[in-house]
């Protein structure tokens, strides 16, 4: 028998039963499509997070107020009253001059912003003139805050493009006014594109001097000021966390027995934690998608068993004219594997399109699909074809030619 004969026989059998073959590979197509689509979405989400981390810088550390979920209610109430202040931030820079290179205060809020008769909700950042450089953001028009704005509690604001549109601000926004919490703020700058997707729109941001904002915020929001700091690149992130934590305890006057009212996190550590979480999510998603591939494999086995029964006389004829057991085994294994590989190829195609479109819509990212995803997309179906196709193939190869020829 020609060495290529098992391949030709397998292909002819698949072509002779097009509808059944298509329905057989459907489970594989769905499973592989799901794998690729999930990988695309995960890559898109990682692109957003890593983009933000790159913008902040790997040598960034955040000192934030401890939230109520991390403390008993009594301790939370006491520690919230000890919220960090501008004086604490300056003291940190003064106490660690060889560690901290810059500090930026940040207090996030949310509220309605009004211009004439129109209003819109937006993210409100209370900060100072260092925030733009700290986050690597640029302005499309106007100017940044200056130290005098912070010192004199100036009523000035920098706003995002979305707010400009939603508030119906016509002409040059610079010099016009918006109303926030009963106070008029003069627009002195307009952000460039800060990024947006289905989950969030950073362009609805309004930034006001932290000293001005503190005067108009309700008391229950003032305790959430955080500090963004940059440290020397040559220093170890974990060591910087420990040094900053000790310094903040001294600055806030916490006794050794008192719990910390703040949380210190280096961006490098956050990146490592994020990677761990994403690996866990990928594992869970992979396990769920694996069920679909398992179902597809069972379908392959079922159809191949039916095929063996239907083609019993064909198998008898082949054995009668000299086909060995190994030839029959290889033929049916090839048939099962080809079905699975074809399903894998279609799954990769559909999954890539679906995942790319979904990632673009949800995250505004066109992710790069890693080579490992394509290898898995072909490798797993091939293994499924061999694993689930072996039993039907072995059954076919063991048929007695005389009994097979008598089969009706």
Average pLDDT over the chain, rounded to an integer: 82
pLDDT per residue over 386-407, tens digit each? 787 777 777 777 766 666 555 5
Rg over alpha carbons for the chain, rounded to the nearest Å, is 32
| Strand ranges, E, within 58-99 | 60-65
Give the pLDDT score at 68: 47
- Supply 226's token pair: 């955080």
Task: Determine the Cα–Cα distance for residues 308 and 303; give it in Å rounded to an integer.
Answer: 9
pLDDT per residue over 188-241, tens digit each? 999 988 876 666 678 889 999 999 999 898 877 777 889 999 998 888 888 999
- Inter-residue contact 156 to 149 (CB < 8 Å): yes
Angle value at C-alpha 154, between 150 and 160, nearest 5 degrees: 90
pLDDT per residue over 54-101, tens digit each? 777 778 899 988 764 455 555 555 555 557 888 999 999 999 999 999
Give the pLDDT score at 69: 43
pLDDT per residue over 309-364, tens digit each? 766 777 677 767 676 777 777 777 887 888 888 888 888 899 889 988 988 888 77
Task: Determine the Cα–Cα distance for residues 86 and 386; give it in Å rounded to an integer.
Answer: 67
Q: Is the dihedral angle over the CA atoms 173, 179, 181, 183 positive or is it negative?
A: positive
Residue with the bigger pLDDT between 27 and 403: it is 27
Q: How many CB atoms lie within 10 A of CB 167?
A: 24
Residue 396 Cα distances to 45, 130, 256, 314, angstroms: 48, 75, 77, 10
pLDDT per residue over 132-188, tens digit each? 988 888 899 999 999 999 999 999 999 999 999 999 999 999 999 999 999 999 999
- Residue ranges of domains in the chain: 5-52+273-406, 67-260
Q: How many CB atoms lie within 10 A of CB 343?
A: 29
Residue with the bigger pLDDT between 306 and 341: it is 341
Instruction: Look up the pTM and report it.
Output: 0.68
Residue with the bigger pLDDT between 161 and 284: it is 161
């Amino acid at each position: 028998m020609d060495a290529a004969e098992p391949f030709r026989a397998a292909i002819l059998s698949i072509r002779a039963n097009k509808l059944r073959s298509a329905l057989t590979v459907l489970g594989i197509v769905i499973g592989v499509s799901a794998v690729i689509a999930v990988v695309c979405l995960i890559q898109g989400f990682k692109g957003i997070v890593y983009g933000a981390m790159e913008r902040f810088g790997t040598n960034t550390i955040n000192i934030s107020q401890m939230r109520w979920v991390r403390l008993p209610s009594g301790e939370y109430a006491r520690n919230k009253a000890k919220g960090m202040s501008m004086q604490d931030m300056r003291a940190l820079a003064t106490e660690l001059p060889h560690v901290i290179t810059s500090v930026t205060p940040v207090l996030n809020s949310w509220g309605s912003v009004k211009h004439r008769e129109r209003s819109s909700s937006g993210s409100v950042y209370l900060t100072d003139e260092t925030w733009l450089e700290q986050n690597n953001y640029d302005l499309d028009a106007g100017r940044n805050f200056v130290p005098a704005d912070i010192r004199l509690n100036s009523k000035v604001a920098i706003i995002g493009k979305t707010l400009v549109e939603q508030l119906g601000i016509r002409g040059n926004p610079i010099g016009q006014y918006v109303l926030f919490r009963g106070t008029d703020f003069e627009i002195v700058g307009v952000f460039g594109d800060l990024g947006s997707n289905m989950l969030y729109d950073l362009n609805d941001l309004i930034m006001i001097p932290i000293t001005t904002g503190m005067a108009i915020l309700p008391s229950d929001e003032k305790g959430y000021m955080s500090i963004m700091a940059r440290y020397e690149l040559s220093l170890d992130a974990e060591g910087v966390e420990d040094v900053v934590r000790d310094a903040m305890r001294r600055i806030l006057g916490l006794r050794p027995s008192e719990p910390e009212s703040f949380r210190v996190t280096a961006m490098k550590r956050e990146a490592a934690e994020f990677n761990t979480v994403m690996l866990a999510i990928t594992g869970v998603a992979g396990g769920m998608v694996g069920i679909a591939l398992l179902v597809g494999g069972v379908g392959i086995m079922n159809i191949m068993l039916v095929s063996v029964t239907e083609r019993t006389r064909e198998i008898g004829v082949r054995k009668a004219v000299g086909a060995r057991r190994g030839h029959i085994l290889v033929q049916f294994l090839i048939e099962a594997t080809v079905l699975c590989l074809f399903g894998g190829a279609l799954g990769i195609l559909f999954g890539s399109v679906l995942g790319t479109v979904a990632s673009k819509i949800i995250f505004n990212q066109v992710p790069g699909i890693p080579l490992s995803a394509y290898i898995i997309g072909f490798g797993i179906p091939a293994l499924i074809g061999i694993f689930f196709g072996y039993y039907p193939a072995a059954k076919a190869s063991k048929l007695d030619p005389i009994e097979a020829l008598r089969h009706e």
